[in-house]
Copies of this chain bind each other. A is one copy, B any other.
């Protein structure tokens, strides 16, 4: 964990402590309210003023990049475990299930996976890695003849967006309700169930534009400094 300021010098001890408190407060607040929780709320939980928050994290995206990186690493671990599964299909199914579960228990990670915010260097890198994992898991399961051959990484992202909406609705009242749709989707992803899809998949560019559209659709768009 990098505890030095922009000039390279280490932060003063009180500043380090406040930074740690802010990160922890943000993590908790993100879990409960998602990545667009008011910054005042985070500062309040951390027991510092909002000015201090701005001193440590010049804008929200820097805070997000710092806090959600851990969550993102969690999803990478899930992917690695899935790739280690000798059964390609089961590895893929477990992967999707655990990503969905991660979304269900942490609205912050939902936002990290959905990427409903401006580009952030660390998350971007983790995300690229995650994409690569997903691609491998998908292709492996397809080569094994178990996953429908027309399924793409873009489709997986679409499923994550969908599940995010589902858990946003049902998370509080029935925390495991997403599992029903998960099962239905899995049944639709088996190669044995597949009927051909006429519509072409989104390319990388379209996917990125769609991601940005999500960012502005929920609440006001985030400003860049």
Measuring CB to CB, which residues of chain A are less than 8 angstroms from any residue of chain B? 34, 148, 151, 155, 158-159, 161-166, 168-174, 176-177, 179-181, 183-190, 192-195, 197-199, 201-202, 206, 209-211, 213-214, 217-219
Contact = CB atoms under 8 A, between A and B. Distances in A.
Given A169-B161, A173-B210, A210-B174, A186 B188 contact: yes
B202 A177 contact: yes
Contact of A183 (B168, B172, B179, B195): B195
Given A165-B214, A192-B193, 13 more contacts: A155-B184, A158-B166, A161-B165, A162-B165, A169-B210, A170-B202, A172-B209, A173-B209, A174-B210, A184-B185, A187-B189, A187-B193, A188-B189
A159 B171 contact: no
A183 B169 contact: no
Contacts of A155: 180-181, 184
A199 B173 contact: no
A155 B179 CA distance: 11
Number of copies: 2
Contact of A206 (B174, B179, B197): B174
Given A170-B202, A188-B186, A202-B170, A180 B165 contact: no
Contacts of A151: 184
A202 B172 CA distance: 12
A26 B216 CA distance: 20
Given A169-B161, A172-B209, A173-B209, A179 B198 contact: yes
Nearest to A205: B173
A171 B209 CA distance: 10
Contact of A189 (B166, B184, B197, B219): B184
A225 B69 CA distance: 42
Contact of A213 (B170, B193, B213, B217): B170
B211 A169 contact: yes
A162 B162 CA distance: 4
Contacts of A189: 184, 187-188
Contacts of A202: 170, 173-174, 177
Contacts of A148: 184, 187
Q: Which of A180, A181, A202 counts the most chain B CB atoms within 10 A?
A: A180
